[in-house]
Structure 1
């Protein structure tokens, strides 16, 4: 497996993995994947990664979104990470998240945050194993297919950025 920067050429595979995550009902409040242009505008230009196998097939992806347009939050980003159905349980998510952390820090991000449905224990476990801590629980934060959902908020602070 190789982790490499995501390009527009990866979008069809990235979108398919995102749609599979959406279909689980426990990955996101979104109900459909956006077009590339909308996705591209919503995410930071750096720290967009894909994991590919030896044949070049995309196994998973990770990317960052800004949490605010205010300059004081310029080093804070929300992450998204999705692993293809066939690649789950093989360490793809762990390696993608480790690479995303390193890349985000190389770009001056001092805090990564993630919000996940409370039922998504695999995602919560992935994040906590990577050094994220649970910082909150948002009850009935939004409706998903007509049902109120709760989310767990996780955060990871860089040990090397923003400590001085």
Structure 2
């Protein structure tokens, strides 16, 4: 397995894995995969990663800006999705480790995630990677007509933004 920078040609495989996450009703409030152009516009250029084995994308990770205000320029939201046949193999940990490295190179001092409380795999991954629980948004949005909570995690860099 190798981690590569995500390129537009990866979008078909990335979108398939994203759809698998959407279908769990535990990964996102999204109900359909966006068009590549919309996804591309809403994500940072840095930190776009795919885990590949024998030319097959097994999982992906990306960063989104949390705000257009310049004061939040060093804060990004994390997305990590693993193909359903490849979950539980440590791919998320490898992608997250590389995502953290690339975010710090890009001078991002805080990574954050909003996770559904029933997504135990994602919560476990974030805790293992040094994210801390910072709170819960109760009934923040509806998914398929059901109110969902969102638990918030963040990881503050130990090398960027400490001066």
Question: TM-score over 0.5 for the alignment?
Answer: yes
Q: What is the distance in 1 between the residues matched to 2:154 and 2:125?
A: 12
SS at match of 1:29: coil
Name the structure 2 match of 1:123: 122
Task: Return the offset for 1:153.
Answer: 0.2
Q: What are the superposed Cα offsets for residues 102-140 of structure 1, whole Å, 9 maximum, x if unpaired?
A: 011111100000001011011000000000000011100
Name the structure 1 match of 2:26: 26
Name the structure 1 match of 2:38: 38
Aligned ranges 1:1-164 → 2 under 5 Å = 1-53=1-53, 55-164=54-163
TM-score normalised by structure 1 residue count: 0.99
Ranges of 4+ aligned residues in structure 1 off by more than 4 Å = none
Q: Structure 2: give runs of 5+ residues left out of the alignment.
A: none
SS at match of 1:38: helix
Q: What is the distance in 1 between the residues matched to 2:55 and 2:102?
A: 21
Q: What is the distance in 1 between the residues matched to 2:108 and 2:4?
A: 19
TM-score normalised by structure 2 residue count: 0.99
Between Structure 1 and Structure 2, how many residues are aligned? 163
Task: Return the offset for 1:49.
Answer: 0.3
Q: Structure 1: give runs of 5+ residues left out of the alignment.
A: none
Q: Cα RMSD (Å) of the superposition? A: 0.4
Q: What is the distance in 2 between the residues matched to 1:155 and 1:46?
A: 18
SS at match of 1:82: strand
Task: Return the offset for 1:83.
Answer: 0.3
